Every structure is written in C-alpha cells, then in structure tokens.
Structure 1
C-alpha cells in the first residue's frame, strides 16, 4: 500500500498547478491548501529518508500559510520554492562533491571515468542555471500574470523545458561517451 500512496502523492504534486488553478478559480482556497498539507504529511511519513524531504516541508508550510493567511500566493509560490530547493540541493553538491548528476550517473555507471566526473559537474552547473531561471520566471507568473499563464508555465512549460534539458543532456552524454571511448 505505501507504494500506491507514494504514486498518488507524486501524481498530485505533478498535477499541482492544474489543481491549484482549478481550485482557486472555483473559490476552493482552503480545500486545495488542506490537500497540499495532507500530501506533505503523507510524503513525510512515506519518505523520511528521501532527499526530497525539504520539498515535503515546503508543501506543508505553503499549504499552512495559505490556509492561515487566506492568501493564494502561498500556493502559487510552491513551484518557486521547489525550484529554489532543487537549486540549493544541486549547488550544495557542487561545493561538496560528488555533484548531483554524478550521483545519478553512478547509479548506472559505478566506475565513472574522470572525464565523466567532469562532464557531470558541468551538467550539474547547467541544472543550477535552469533552476534559477525557472524560479525567476515562476515568481514572475505569481505576481504579474493571470492564473491561466501561471498554470500554463508552472504546469506545462516548465516541465517541457525540464524534459528538453534532460533529453538534451542524455543525447550529449552519449555523444561524449563515444568520443572518450575512441
């Protein structure tokens, strides 16, 4: 059952911008706030050892502040907080290696060559840049755009950009590996 619950909470968090957009356009501020708090609490109890634990705390705090202050901005700031948290985690691994991308790479390639370590460090820097830019754009959508634009960017465009970056990195990594194998 915990695996099922983890999947449900993950789906809710991925669909979060759409849920917030729909809820707020229908006057359901406290309902979506409570949902975010519940998802955060469930994630806390099902993933205490997860490196994503800071994001779990952010969900609880964002939902709680929205509920207490009756302000939708706290719900809309959650994607900003997620980007800043991811930036912090990736940046921290640049200061205290191995880099985040090297950690991921070693799952599939435990004996990563020195060239691979250098490559993953650069890719981690690119991801840091992405998360910073994403946080800035997401913040802009909270305060200066309509709910529709906020949902479009935070629920679709940012995910597409992550997918493009991930795919591009995968293609370039394979190319890099071929160059260094010759």
Structure 2
C-alpha cells in the first residue's frame, strides 16, 4: 500500500504543484514535497530512499526559505539522479538492477541473459541522463505548464514506451536464441 501511495504521489507531483500554484505560495507547496519525500522513505526505508527523502527535505527547505518555485521543480531531476545512481552503481557492483528483476522470473538466467540485462541497464542509465536533463531544462527555462506537462505526463509516456520497446526486443531476442 505504501509503495502504491509513493508511486501515485510521485507520478502526480508535477501536476499537483502546477494546480497548487493557483491556490498557494511555493512555501506552502513545499509541504507536498516534504510529504512525498517522507512517503518515499517510509515505503522502503532503503539507503536510496533516505537519500531521495533528504534531497526532498533540502528542496522543501529551500522553497520554504526562498518562497521560489524552482526548488520544487527540481524534485523530478533529483529522482532521475537517484535512479541513475541506483542503476549505474549496479553496473559497477553487479548484479544489475535489471538482472535482479529478471531473476525474479527466471532464477537460472544464463550468461546471454546476464549480458542482455546489463545492456538494458545501460539503456536505462542513458534514459535517466536524457530525461533528467530535459527535466532540468524545463525547470530552469520552460513555463510551469510545460514543466508540468513534461515531468507529469510525457516522461511517463517515454518510460512506458521504453519498457514496452524493451519487452518487444526481449521477445525477439528470446525467440532468436531458441531458433539458433
């Protein structure tokens, strides 16, 4: 239940900030970021969740202090940095995040599968770099509407497209592996 709450709040965060601007100052909306950061930490209580919660706390404090919107708009960027750190660290230490997920379905993953999951993890790292960069650009230079549209909708369409595309590629790779 807590994970569902965290995912929903994270997905809706940019839209809630955008809609909240019509009714409240940024320092009041900082409470939303604080709640989101706390929910994220309580959902998993991992080191990564703690780091994200601390980033949320810092951004909320900066917003409360300055009453500026920019720190609130940086939270999606922080999420991309956190995901890049998680996926990137798994490339260095192993097993990769994608391999761990694949082993939930296929515990006896062979060397070809391990190499494939490593490549998919690299693709996700690239996605987080590009997505975080676009999120940063929208936070710094775009209107609030554009920021909310990109970070609250387009980014999820892109993530879904990447997941769906990877699923199609994986089916093809598996089919080709059995044919050879």
Question: TM-score, normalising length from structure 2?
Answer: 0.91
Residue 86 of structure 1, aligned match among 74, 83, 87: 83
Question: Aligned residue for 1:127?
Answer: 124
In the aligned structure 2, how far is the partner of 1:175 from the partner of 1:11?
Answer: 32
Residues 76 and 151 in structure 2, CA contact (< 8 A), matched pair in contact too: yes
Question: Aligned residue for 2:114?
Answer: 117
Say if 1:72 and 1:54 are closer, same or farther in 2 by CA, change over 3 A. same
CA RMSD of aligned residues (A): 1.7
In the aligned structure 2, how far is the partner of 1:77 from the partner of 1:7?
Answer: 22
SS of 1:15's equivalent in the other structure is helix
In the aligned structure 2, how far is the partner of 1:50 from the partner of 1:181?
Answer: 40
Gaps spanning 5+ residues in structure 2: where?
none
In the aligned structure 1, how far is the partner of 2:36 from the partner of 2:141?
Answer: 28
Question: Aligned residue for 1:163?
Answer: 160
Residues 27 and 68 in structure 2, CA contact (< 8 A), matched pair in contact too: no
In the aligned structure 1, how far is the partner of 2:172 from the partner of 2:102?
Answer: 15
Question: Aligned residue for 2:68?
Answer: 71
In the aligned structure 1, how far is the partner of 2:170 from the partner of 2:93?
Answer: 23
Residue 22 of structure 1, aligned match among 19, 22, 26: 19
Question: Aligned residue for 1:7?
Answer: 4
Structure 1's consecutive aligned runs of 4 or more residues displaced over 4 angstroms after TM superposition are: none
- Counterpart check, 1:146 vs 2:137: no
Which deviates the most, 84-93 or 5-14? Answer: 5-14
Residues 139 and 147 in structure 2, CA contact (< 8 A), matched pair in contact too: yes
SS of 2:21's equivalent in the other structure is helix
Say if 1:59 and 1:122 are closer, same or farther in 2 by CA, change over 3 A. same
Which deviates the most, 59-68 or 147-156? Answer: 59-68
Say if 1:169 and 1:6 are closer, same or farther in 2 by CA, change over 3 A. closer
Question: Aligned residue for 1:137?
Answer: 134
In the aligned structure 2, how far is the partner of 1:90 from the partner of 1:181?
Answer: 29
SS of 2:58's equivalent in the other structure is helix
Say if 1:156 and 1:120 are closer, same or farther in 2 by CA, change over 3 A. same
Say if 1:155 and 1:129 are closer, same or farther in 2 by CA, change over 3 A. same
